[in-house]
A and B are shown apart, each in its own frame.
Chain A
Amino acid sequence: MVAETAQVNQPKGTDEPESCPRSVRIELDYILLAIEALDYEAMEAIVDCIHYLQLESAIPSRVALWRLRNTNPLRVTYQRGEFTVAQAKALVKIIATLAQRINTGLRLLVTTIQQVREGKIEALGLQQNQEFLNLYLDRFVYLHKCRMKPSPLSDQELKSLGEDLIVQLLFCSGTAGEQRLWYSLTAGELA
């Protein structure tokens, strides 16, 4: 973990690939969108995390973060821009740290997703959990429609995507969440 931090804080090395693959840029932006759907104020937490984890060399400011997120080609405000591996690793570190903080909420949401699919919510009397899940999913769909280009996905498919992202967030909220998220994004193809 220390080595990873050092690598993130270092200036871009000559042996590191210049830019991150398109899929990594899309996936990271989507995960951040899911965090924002959980809490509209999450952007402040993300910016705080940059300073807390001392990642200013990779992401110097809020505007730099906004520019990075706009390199997602599915965004309405898509802009060509640099998105280095070091910057992607910094975002992975921020996501893993935030996910760790909201681990309890993520557990509740993943359990509720399963209970809804199995139709057990009424029997268990956990309607308030379903309301919590619905609030997140509605916000995710709303944010997706505001920020992304018109998508062929229906509202239900977008909700299903929102559920998948919650599971992804749960799996990066553990002790080795950062490594797991990075490996799952790149399948080990990037160092």
Chain B
Amino acid sequence: MRAQRVYTLPNCTLGVMGLVNDQDVMHILTGFELHFFHDPRRIKGTREVLELLLKTVNVYSLAFQRGQEQITPISDMVVLEAENADTHKLTVKSIDPDAQQTQAEPIQVVLNTVQLFDLMESLDRLCTDELTLPDLTLNLSAPVQFRREQSVGWGSALAGLGVVLVAAVGLSFMPVPVPERTPAPERPVPTLPR
């Protein structure tokens, strides 16, 4: 039997369509639809895209929480990147599940931090819903590569000092060209008479 489960948050709606069994558990996903209220376009896709979206949002939001920037996009189908301190750009190559065809133009939505939180929360609710895709669980243990760490205390300052010291040691081993000596003037430069 076909069914639809919808997770609504103040800034977005995530709907998953699929087949449910007699116990009302949805095991088979036929498609999903993600709609941000500030953008008229709808992101659609198959299970593959949903899983990539889930993984990308998890990795990105964890990096964001740690004040770091994620450097390895998981897939070119779903890309989430920081635009500035407060906005994040989500790009999805949307697939219409009925036509099974990738749309020519990827959908690009700019999200603020609260909208990113709502996207993450809608996916978390889907993951914790035991009646919808029970095999889809919140997995935060994926290895993640980060860069640009910001620390709360003086750790960053000490790290910076370490880099400077290493650079100084490195520089001391680099050959420095000796400047040519200029001959000293033979006579002292005349000064104004008192």
Residues of A participating in the B interface, judged by any CB pair closer than 8 Å: 23, 26-27, 30, 74, 107, 110-111, 113-114, 117-118, 152, 161, 164, 167-168, 170-171, 174-176, 179-181, 183-184, 187-188
Assess whether A174 is in contact with B66, with CB atoms less than 8 Å apart: no
- Smallest beta-carbon distance B9→chain A, Å: 10
Assess whether B153 is in contact with A26, with CB atoms less than 8 Å apart: yes
Assess whether B86 is in contact with A180, with CB atoms less than 8 Å apart: no
Assess whether B113 is in contact with A110, with CB atoms less than 8 Å apart: yes
Assess whether B121 is in contact with A117, with CB atoms less than 8 Å apart: no
B127 at the interface (CB under 8 A from A): yes
Chain B residues in 8 Å Cβ range of A114: 86, 112-113
Q: How far is the CA of A26 from the CA of B114 in the complex (A)?
A: 26
- Smallest beta-carbon distance B140→chain A, Å: 4
Jot down 24 A-B pairs with beta carbons below 8 A, ordered by A.
A23-B152, A23-B155, A26-B152, A27-B152, A107-B114, A107-B117, A114-B112, A117-B85, A167-B64, A168-B65, A170-B113, A170-B114, A174-B117, A174-B120, A175-B124, A175-B125, A175-B128, A176-B128, A179-B138, A180-B62, A180-B140, A183-B141, A184-B62, A188-B140
A-B interface, 10 closest residue pairs, ranked by CB to CB distance from nearest: A184-B65, A114-B86, A174-B121, A175-B124, A183-B140, A176-B124, A171-B65, A184-B66, A176-B138, A107-B114
Binary CB contact string for chain B from 141 to 163 against chain A (1 if under 8 A, 0 otherwise): 10010000011111101000000
B193 at the interface (CB under 8 A from A): no
- Smallest beta-carbon distance B150→chain A, Å: 8
- Smallest beta-carbon distance B54→chain A, Å: 12
Chain A residues in 8 Å Cβ range of B128: 175-176
Partner of B154, one of A152, A168, A183, A188: A152
Q: How far is the CA of A107 from the CA of B11 in the complex (A)?
A: 11
- Smallest beta-carbon distance B118→chain A, Å: 9
Shortest Cβ distance from B141 into A: residue: A188
Chain B residues in 8 Å Cβ range of A167: 64-65, 113
Assess whether B117 is in contact with A170, with CB atoms less than 8 Å apart: yes
Shortest Cβ distance from A109 into B: residue: B114
Q: How far is the CA of A170 from the CA of B114 in the complex (A)?
A: 8
